[in-house]
Amino acid sequence: MGLAKQIGKSETLRGTLCWLVSLYIRLLYATGSWQVVRGDIPASFWDQGKPFILSFWHGRILMMMKCWRPGVPISMLISQHRDGLLIARTVAHFGIKTVAGSTTRGGGNALRGLLKMLKGGECIGITPDGPKGPRMRASAGFINIARLSGCPIIPVAYSARRRRLLRSWDRFLIPWPFSGGVFVWGEPMHVSADSDIEECRLLLEERMIAVTDEADQLAGVETVAPADPLPGTAP
C-alpha cells in the first residue's frame, strides 16, 4: 500500500502529518525574515472589527496562517475530500476554524454558514481556484458570497526567496527554512447587489494574479503562470 493511501486510512497518521506540517510552518516563519506589503489594508479592518473575505490561491496556502493577526476569528472554506480534511486539521493548530463544502456543487449549507459568519462579524478565507483548479482561475461562487454579505474581498499572496514548486496542478509553493519571503496584500474589492458576476470574477482573478506576481518579483523568483481557463469562461 502506498504512503498516501496509508495516510488516508489512518487517523493517527493523518494527525501526525498535520502536526508535523504545523511545526514546519512555525519553523519557516521563525527562521526567515518576512516582509509585509500594504499590511495597513487588513489592519484597518481588524482594528475596527469589520469582517472581510480573505482570498488566496490554493498553491499559496501553506503560509497563510502567518499573514493573519492572532486572535482575530476566521473560518476557512475547505473541500470535503482528503486534501481538504488535511488542511482543516493543519490550520486547527493555529486556532483557525473550517467549513467543509462548496459554493457551487450542493453547497447551500456551506454558503449559508459562511454568510452567517460574515454577518456576525467573523472573517472567512477562501481559495477561489480550489480544490482542483484550474490554477489561478477564480470561481464565480465566491463573488456571490461578497454580493450577498456586502463584505469586501481582500486578496493576499506570499512568496519565498528560496522555495520548491511542486508539479501539482496548483504548483504548490513550499519555502525552505532560513529563507523568508514576502506577504503582499491587495486593495479591497466590493461587490454590489447589481454587479455583473462575470466581470467581478475576472477583476478578482486579475487582482489576485497581480499580488501573486508582485510577491514573486519582490522575493526575486520566477512568477507562476495561471493555467488555461475553463471552456466558456473569459481568460
In angstroms, rounded to a whole number, what is the distance separating the alpha carbons of residues 233 and 214? 25
Answer yes or no: is pLDDT of 12 > 90.
no
Query: What pLDDT was estimated at residue 209?
Result: 98
Arithmetic mean of pLDDT, 155-175: 97
Arithmetic mean of pLDDT, 125-140: 92
Kindly state the percentage of the chain with pLDDT values over 90.
Answer: 76
- For 138, the grid coordinates are 477564480
Answer yes or no: is pLDDT of 3 > 50.
no
Query: What pLDDT was estimated at residue 106?
Result: 47
* pLDDT tens figures, 86-111: 889 999 999 999 988 765 554 567 88
In angstroms, rounded to a whole number, what is the distance separating the alpha carbons of residues 217 and 181? 11
DSSP-derived 3-state class of residue 35: strand
47 Cβ contact partners less than 8 Å away, ≥ 6 residues apart: none
Q: Which range (98-107, 130-139, 147-156, 181-190) has the least confidence?
A: 98-107
pLDDT class of 45 with cuts at 50, 70, 90: very high
111 Cβ contact partners less than 8 Å away, ≥ 6 residues apart: 101, 103, 141, 144, 145
Higher-pLDDT residue of 103, 28: 28
On average, the pLDDT of the chain sits at 91
- Identify whether the C-beta of residue 209 lies closer than 8 Å to the C-beta of residue 136: yes
Q: Which CATH superfamily is domain 3-219 in?
A: Glycerol-3-phosphate (1)-acyltransferase (3.40.1130.10)
Query: What pLDDT was estimated at residue 85?
Result: 81
Higher-pLDDT residue of 142, 37: 37
Helices marked H in 166-220: 197-219
Higher-pLDDT residue of 173, 82: 173
Q: Domain segments of the chain: what residues?
A: 3-219
The verdict on whether omega for the bond into residue 155 sits within 30 degrees of 0, i.e. cis, is no
